[in-house]
Amino acid sequence: MEPLKNKYLITVVGPTAIGKTALAIRIAQYFRTRVISSDSRQFYKEMSIGTAVPSLEELAAVPHDFIQHKSIFDEYSVGDFEREAIALLEQHFKNTDVVVMAGGSGLYVNAVLYGLDYFPDIDPAIRKKLNIRLEQEGLRDLASELQQLDPVYYKQVDAENPHRVVRALEVCLGTGQPYSSFLSGTSRKRDFIPITIGLTADRNMIYDRINRRVDIMIRNGLLEEVRSLFPYREKNALQTVGYKELFRYMEEQCTLDSAIVEIKKNTRRFAKRQLTWFRKQEDINWFDCSDDTALILEYISSQIHSK
SS (H, E, C) 3-40: CCCCCEEEEEECCCCCCHHHHHHHHHHHHCCCEEECCH
Q: How far is the first Cα of the chain from the last one, in angstroms, to the nearest whole number?
A: 17
- How does residue 119 score in pLDDT terms, banded at 50, 70 and 90? confident
96 known ligand binder: no
51 known ligand binder: no
Rounded to whole angstroms, the Cα distance separating 57 from 46 reads 19
What contacts 89, CB < 8 A, 6 or more positions away? 9, 36, 99, 112, 192
pLDDT, tens digit (0-9, with 9 covering 90-100), for 131-164: 899 888 888 999 999 999 999 889 888 788 888 8
In the predicted model, what is the mean pLDDT of residues 85-114? 95
Residue 119 Cα to chain centre, angstroms: 21
Strand, helix or coil for residue 287: strand
pLDDT at 37 over 70: yes
Torsion sign (Cα): 302, 303, 304, 306:
positive
What contacts 280, CB < 8 A, 6 or more positions away? none
> Do the beta carbons of residue 47 and residue 127 sit within 8 Å?
no
Rounded to whole angstroms, the Cα distance separating 177 from 171 reads 7
Residue 217 Cα to chain centre, angstroms: 19
pLDDT, tens digit (0-9, with 9 covering 90-100), for 235-267: 989 989 999 999 999 999 999 999 999 999 999
85 known ligand binder: no
pLDDT, tens digit (0-9, with 9 covering 90-100), for 180-229: 888 766 667 899 999 999 999 999 999 999 999 999 999 999 999 999 99
Whole-number pLDDT of residue 181: 86
Residue 200's DSSP bridge partners are: 288
Domain boundaries, the chain: 8-116+186-305, 124-182
Strand, helix or coil for residue 44: strand
Rounded to whole angstroms, the Cα distance separating 266 from 130 reads 23
What are the Cα distances from residue 160, in Å, to 12, 129, 154, 207? 24, 19, 11, 19
| The CATH number of domain 8-116+186-305 is 3.40.640.10 | no
- Provide the CATH topology of domain 124-182: Histone, subunit A (1.10.20)
Rounded to whole angstroms, the Cα distance separating 307 from 300 reads 11
* Closest to 141 in 3D by CA, of 167, 159, 128, 123: 159
36 known ligand binder: no
In the predicted model, what is the mean pLDDT of residues 161-184? 88
104 known ligand binder: no
129 known ligand binder: no
103 known ligand binder: no
255 known ligand binder: no
Whole-number pLDDT of residue 4: 72
Whole-number pLDDT of residue 293: 97
Rounded to whole angstroms, the Cα distance separating 77 from 237 reads 11
* Closest to 197 in 3D by CA, of 57, 92, 52, 302: 302
